[in-house]
Amino acid sequence: EDQVTQSPEALRLQEGESSSLNCSYTVSGLRGLFWYRQDPGKGPEFLFTLYSAGEEKEKERLKATLTKKESFLHITAPKPEDSATYLCAVQSHVSGYSTLTFGKGTMLLVSP
Amino acid sequence: AAGVIQSPRHLIKEKRETATLKCYPIPRHDTVYWYQQGPGQDPQFLISFYEKMQSDKGSIPDRFSAQQFSDYHSELNMSSLELGDSALYFCASSERLAGVDEQFFGPGTRLTVL
């Protein structure tokens, strides 16, 4: 069974204080690892897809990296508008094309 | 850019009533997915459709059914509603035929069962 564990559950940062969120996964044949951002009461917003170990993707202050067992979402010099819950999800060749298995998320709060 | 449209955005029902949620995928997207997200929980996959055929089935209760129509919109039908069905229901879509794995989510329907 595919499993995704995210840490920490919650993270409070000061504006400009860089940090990283962790996503550890166990999956039978990784098809892809996805990062989403979710604001309260809204739908997850797609950020990145990573397919193979060593891959990196960047978007503004966010950078996602992937190893064979985990992924990191690095946040550089965050701003208050980066406050949200960040969800990691995996898709496997075994579980089926459709199934995204999500982690519980990391709730990020960036204070001015 | 066009996004996934869901309606209604909010729905209040009594126990044992029925509810129908609608989803309009992004244009040219051929696959629709339904997810349920309880308070403080991660989204749980319910069911998906590819080219109007059921593709995969997740933790969807037998009281729920869904279909995808010729115009690619999808409806999630929920019967004999229970208090525990109160949740956010998200629809997502993707362009599977083009080999794109990313699922794009709609704004959700908040269902409250009283």
Question: What does the domain layout of chain A look like in residue ranges?
Answer: 3-111
The answer to the question of residue B1 being in a domain is: no
Segment among A11-20, B2-11, B46-55, B96-105 with least mean pLDDT: B96-105
β-sheet bridge partners, residue B61: none
What is the model's pLDDT at position B82?
97
What is the model's pLDDT at position B60?
93
What is the model's pLDDT at position A28?
85
| Percent of all residues in chain A with a pLDDT value above 90, rounded to a whole number | 84
Q: Of B45, B58, B106, which has the smallest distance from its Cβ to A43's Cβ?
A: B106
* Alpha-carbon gap, residue A57 to A65, rounded angstroms: 7
Quote the mean pLDDT of chain B. Answer: 93
Counting every residue written for chain A, the total comes to 112
* Alpha-carbon gap, residue B62 to A89, rounded angstroms: 26
- Work out the average pLDDT over B68-82: 96
What is the model's pLDDT at position A96?
67
Q: What angle do CA A45, A47, A51 make, to 5 degrees?
A: 130
* Alpha-carbon gap, residue B8 to B87, rounded angstroms: 14
Is the predicted pLDDT of residue B58 greater than 70, yes or no?
A: yes
What is the model's pLDDT at position B40?
87
Closest Cα in chain B, distance from residue A57 (Å): 14
CATH number at residue B26: 2.60.40.10
Residue range(s) defining the domain that contains residue B83: 7-113
Interface mutation vs chain B, best among A98, A99, A101, most B CBs within 10 Å:
A98
pLDDT, one tens digit per residue, over A84-93 is: 999 999 988 8
What is the model's pLDDT at position A97?
67
What architecture does CATH give domain A3-111?
Answer: Sandwich (2.60)
What tokens appear for B91 in the block? 């629809």
Nearest to A9 by CA among B45, B42, B90: B42
Is the predicted pLDDT of residue A11 greater than 90, yes or no?
A: yes
pLDDT, one tens digit per residue, over A46-98 is: 999 999 999 999 999 999 999 999 999 999 999 999 999 999 999 888 766 67
- Work out the average pLDDT over A8-33: 95
In angstroms, the Cα distances linking A45 to B37, B39, B48, B51 are 15, 18, 19, 24
| Domain count within chain B | 1
The answer to the question of residue B2 being in a domain is: no
The answer to the question of residue B69 being in a domain is: yes
Task: Read off the amino acid at residue A49.
Answer: T
* Alpha-carbon gap, residue A85 to A103, rounded angstroms: 11
Q: Please enumerate residues of B whose Cβ is less than 8 A from a Cβ of A.
A: 4, 31, 33, 41-45, 48, 50, 55-56, 58, 88, 90, 92, 96, 101-108, 110
